[in-house]
Structure 1
Amino acid sequence: MRGSASIGPVHECRKIGLEFFETAPFRLEASVEVDATPGRVFDIFEDADAWTVWVPPIKHVEWTSPKPFGVGTTRTVTMSGGLLAEEEFIAWERGRRMAFYFRRASQKNLLAFGEDYQVTDLGGGRSRVTWRVAMEVGGVNRLLMPVTGPLVRVGLRWMLGRLRRYIQRTGAP
């Protein structure tokens, strides 16, 4: 696993299903409209290097499954702050939806974590991207969530703005 030796040990996270995005103890959601077709949005989602541009906490993405991507696809993501995550996709409908959960992570207080990206075709070469984050954390982080939650929500909106600008710079459809 790339980078795991320098980051430290990884810990198992609880497997989740799509219902977790409705029932998790901590849930966030943000949306943005972009000048791109759903297919173009997914081209960006499938580009490992693009993630490091529009999601600055991400330092490296490595797809560990071959294309075509689908349910069961895996990737490893290295993030700032020393977080390494092994992800498995639990939903993949190209042009519509992709969702993953952390199978393993280098921060043991992440008991369960997932992200869900839904893309809605608005017509005319435009789409709405909705990003949902759901998690269950342990330890002191559980107590901090009411305070940090609003900051994370602002961060999601900021990163979706970066996605919109990335799409504008790199062109559509």
Structure 2
Amino acid sequence: MAHLLREVGLDFIERAPVRHVFAREVSATPEAVFHALADDVPGWSQWFSAVTLARPLDGGARREVRLRGGTRFEETILVAKSPEVYAYRVDVTNAPGARAMVEEWGLAPAGTGTRVRWTFAVDGTAPFRFACGLARPGLGRAFRDAVNALDRRLTSAAS
């Protein structure tokens, strides 16, 4: 059953009860990575294996995302500043116990490539927060695998 989450802003990332930050360097440029994140929303399912569907809504101001296992999100884009940051808030989800969620993808030049930093910030019921804390290793693996797949996709497209 889908439910509305709290409407929070980008500042929630700094004060969220559960906050995971992962970073990785890739060879693709910040501009290419930003384009894949913000402009090619349907392409997420090609490089982020947990994503089965991603589509822009309302001219790109919002997104619908579906994950393997049936979790669904409706999101509002909070920041799309090329090529530095892409962030969104989850407004509606079927994830039980969730109360607020924001994700931020920060991009910075790293040599000829990009340092990609993903921040996952959430609040919810005590069991939800506990489960999200336990999920850190799995989220880290999912991030690593997704960013590696994105890098392969972008560097093969540039060749």
| Consecutive unaligned residues in structure 1, runs of 5 or more | 1-8
Q: Amino acid of the residue matched to residue 108 of structure 1? A: P
Compute the TM-score of the two structures, normalised by the length of structure 2: 0.88
SS at match of 1:82: coil
Matches within 5 A, 1:1-173: 9-45=1-37, 46-66=39-59, 69=60, 73-122=61-110, 124=112, 126-138=113-125, 140-171=127-158
Partners of 1:83 and 1:160 in 2: CA distance: 21
Q: In the superposition, relative to structure 1, how do residues 140 and 123 fare at CA in structure 2: closer, same or farther (>3 Å)?
A: closer
- Deviation, structure 1 residue 167: 2.0
Q: Provide the aligned C-alpha RMSD in A.
A: 1.9
- Deviation, structure 1 residue 74: 0.5
- Deviation, structure 1 residue 47: 1.0
Partners of 1:105 and 1:145 in 2: CA distance: 15
- Deviation, structure 1 residue 50: 1.9
SS at match of 2:58: coil
Q: Amino acid of the residue matched to residue 34 of structure 1? A: V
- Deviation, structure 1 residue 123: 5.0
Counterpart position of 1:5: none
- Deviation, structure 1 residue 91: 1.2
SS at match of 1:159: helix
Q: Amino acid of the residue matched to residue 12 of structure 1? A: L
Identity %: 24
C-alpha offsets along residues 104-146 of structure 1, whole Å, 9 cap, x if unaligned? Answer: 112231111111011112353x221111111112253333344
C-alpha offsets along residues 39-93 of structure 1, whole Å, 9 cap, x if unaligned? Answer: 2112211212320022111111110122xx5xxx101111111111110011110
Partners of 1:38 and 1:146 in 2: CA distance: 29
Q: In the superposition, relative to structure 1, how do residues 85 and 123 fare at CA in structure 2: closer, same or farther (>3 Å)?
A: same
Q: Is the 8 A contact 2:43 2:54 kept in 1?
A: no
Task: State the aligned residue count.
Answer: 158
